[in-house]
Chain A
Amino acid sequence: LAKTTQPISMDSYEGQEVNITCSHNNIATNDYITWYQQFPSQGPRFIIQGYKTKVTNEVASLFIPADRKSSTLSLPRVSLSDTAVYYCLVGDWRNFNKFYFGSGTKLNVKP
């Protein structure tokens, strides 16, 4: 069963690119990797999901190396409103296995 590890916190400045890495050494063959964003007093919000290589959408990119033991969420040109907690989730929804959220990375974007 995959468990995830993330840095507790990160600091950045407006306009910078931010990369948050999640380690999941025991990821299974059918596990997907999903990232969520959470603001205080709100539910998590989906950012991006991938299985391997690179996935990009309008808000972020997700890089997954060939061994899939880690993944990196990349946020281009962050703004103050990107200050939030970012969670990495690994699991296989189709086979209903146990899912694991990372403990979250608190991103603090400074002006």
Chain B
Amino acid sequence: DARVTQTPRHKVTEMGQEVTMRCQPILGHNTVFWYRQTMMQGLELLAYFRNRAPLDDSGMPKDRFSAEMPDATLATLKIQPSEPRDSAVYFCASGRGPEDEQFFGPGTRLTVL
């Protein structure tokens, strides 16, 4: 049963610290998405990769957020420095192509104090 995995599942950190979230997409999927979910804003698309190339990261605050795919089995989302307003659940999703369904991971719940 192939699944998207995300680590860590929970992260509590202090303002100003660097946070790195990792995602392992389903083997064979060539599209990867990062989302953020908060009670106030709902689900927001942060970044979108296809074949490891970033195609759209316009939803991401560029000054502190960065997203990469060092290889086909790993996607990372980094926040540096973190701020309390970054507290949210961050989801990674992968798919076979842009029009196909996306499979979501369990999310990383981030709390920035």
The DSSP consensus for interface residues of chain A is: loop
Q: Tell me if B101 counts as interface (CB < 8 A to partner A).
A: yes
Contact B42 A43 (CB under 8 A): no
Contact B104 A43 (CB under 8 A): yes
Asked if A44 meets B104 with Cβ closer than 8 Å, knowing A93-B98, A94-B98, A94-B99, the reply is yes
Contact A96 B106 (CB under 8 A): no
Residues of B near A43 (CB, < 8 A) are: 4, 91, 93, 104-107
A-B contact number at CB 8 A: 48
Q: B22-53, CB under 8 A of A: which get 1 and which 0?
A: 00000000010000000000111100100000
Number of interface residues of B (CB under 8 A): 22
Q: Tell me if B103 counts as interface (CB < 8 A to partner A).
A: yes
Q: How large is the interface on A (under 10, 10 to 19, 20 to 34, 35 or more residues)?
A: 20 to 34
Residues of B near A102 (CB, < 8 A) are: 42
Q: Tell me if B18 counts as interface (CB < 8 A to partner A).
A: no
Asked if A46 meets B98 with Cβ closer than 8 Å, knowing A96-B56, A104-B42, the reply is no
Closest to B42 in A: A103
In the bound complex, CA of A7 to CA of B31 (Å): 30
Near A by CB (< 8 A), chain B positions 77-113 give 91, 93, 98-99, 101-107
A-B contacts besides A43-B93, A96-B55, 5 pairs, CB < 8 Å: A43-B4, A44-B91, A46-B101, A93-B99, A94-B99
Which residues from chain A sit less than 8 Å from chain B, CB to CB?
Answer: 32, 34, 41-46, 49, 87, 93-94, 96-99, 101-104
